[in-house]
Amino acid sequence: MEQKITALRERFAFALSNVADPVALEALRVEYLGKKGLLADLMQSLRELSGEGKKQAGQFINALKNEVEQTIRSAAEAQQKAELDKLVNGAKQYDVTLPERTLHGSYHPISLVQREVEHIFVTMGFTVEEYPEIVDDYHCFEALNIPKHHPARDMQDTYYLNNGQLLKTHTSAAQNAIMRKYGAPLRAIFPGRCFRNESIDACHENTFFQMEGIMIDRDISIANLIYFMKTMLSEVFQQDIKVRLRPGFFPFVEPGFELDISCLICGGEGCPSCKDSGWLELCPCGMIHPRVLEMGGIDPNEYTGFAFGLGLTRLAMMRYGVKDIRDFNSGNLRVLAQFT
């Protein structure tokens, strides 16, 4: 048995001398110290001995085991130190006086439009608010006068989560929280990402960006809504923009409208982006329903207000002449690199 132990010690020393990296060192550890390793086999062979010989052999094997463990531990520490020294020496060789590399990047076109629109509304006295992408049913629907089983819920194919919450289908989900945060009078916009399970085509995506806006005060009317929207669009496009209002049904506004913009991609002649109509749906809007004001803690007998949901994604299409909405989420660098 003593000869076996001596031979195993010499074999280990030779194997260790050929270890060059942490992977090989770990393999050596498993070979000798693993549950089915060489030292475990040696311990099993003690059954062949008896009496004092068995006790003495066990002590020799344990001593070898401790020796192997300590040697491998020291080797691992030495490898780590060598790697750290290599990194440090490499850092010392870096010349901080070298000129920086020029990196070319770009902002996403929707980010550019969002920042521009935010600036325009801030100059008109609006505050900019943020709101989570994951919301509860109350804020996304019930607080907007859309109770459970209301047919208006069929207008938006919603992504529900296992915990009962959902991905917000519109930025209107923030209205109740913002009203309760500030009360009246109030001017606020809250941009954000929205999600709907839609069929994707040149002008529809299942994830898109909107900017909700509300203004609440005494004697607010539709005229105020049209003024602010036309002012914003004229600032963005640096020209007078042709718009139209169509009646639209949204439970949280009364009356409700669809604000369309003349398609700037085709000049109003008709194209896939505007479904060959010459008009692009840009902004559902209207006067905030009294019930929504009431649920937001605002007295509808004293205050009125308007709300709009501006489509930032479609606005970016018009602003930069992007014909296919799918380009925005494509990750195609050739498409996005032009927006510096």
Q: Can you give the CATH number for the domain in which 286 is found?
A: 3.30.930.10
Least confident of 198-202, 245-249, 287-291: 198-202
From CA 95, how far away is CA 90, in angstroms rounded? 11
From CA 61, how far away is CA 113, in angstroms rounded? 74
- Give the three-state DSSP class for 208: strand
Q: Quick one: 77 and 120 in the same domain?
A: no
Structure tokens at 57: 């052999």
Contact 137, 168 (CB under 8 A): no
Considering the domain boundaries, does residue 157 fall inside one?
yes
Q: Quick one: 68 and 214 in the same domain?
A: no
CB atoms within 10 A of CB 301: 8
Contacts of 127 (CB under 8 A, 6+ apart): 182, 187, 188, 189
Q: Quick one: 315 and 231 in the same domain?
A: yes
> Cα separations (Å) of 340 from 105, 111, 236?
7, 12, 17
Q: Quick one: 39 and 180 in the same domain?
A: no
Q: Quick one: 271 and 184 in the same domain?
A: yes
For residue 173, the model assigns a pLDDT of 93
Cis peptide bond N-terminal to 185, omega within 30:
yes
CB atoms within 10 A of CB 333: 9
Structure tokens at 33: 């110290």
pTM of the predicted model as reported, rounded to 2 decimal places: 0.62
Q: Total domain count for the chain?
A: 2
For residue 101, the model assigns a pLDDT of 65
- Give the three-state DSSP class for 187: strand
Contacts of 139 (CB under 8 A, 6+ apart): 173, 174, 176, 177
For residue 103, the model assigns a pLDDT of 58
Contact 206, 167 (CB under 8 A): no
Cis peptide bond N-terminal to 255, omega within 30:
yes
For residue 238, the model assigns a pLDDT of 78
> Which residue among 92, 124, 141 closes a domain?
92
Domain limits for position 85: 2-92
| pLDDT tens digits, 78-131 | 888 888 777 766 655 666 677 766 656 677 889 988 999 999 999 999 999 999
> Which residue among 92, 126, 154 closes a domain?
92
Considering the domain boundaries, does residue 101 fall inside one?
no
Contacts of 284 (CB under 8 A, 6+ apart): 248, 250, 256, 257, 258, 259, 308, 309
Q: Quick one: 159 and 256 in the same domain?
A: yes
From CA 46, how far away is CA 40, in angstroms rounded? 10
From CA 321, how far away is CA 49, in angstroms rounded? 89
CB atoms within 10 A of CB 98: 7
Average pLDDT, the chain: 85
> Which residue among 28, 61, 92 closes a domain?
92
Report whether pLDDT(306) > 70: yes
Residue of higher predicted confidence among 220 and 16: 220
For residue 155, the model assigns a pLDDT of 67
Task: Classify the phi-psi angles of 268: left when phi > 0, otherwise alpha if psi is within -120 to 50, otherwise beta.
Answer: left
| pLDDT tens digits, 142-190 | 999 988 887 767 767 889 999 989 999 999 999 999 999 999 999 999 9
Q: Quick one: 13 and 152 in the same domain?
A: no
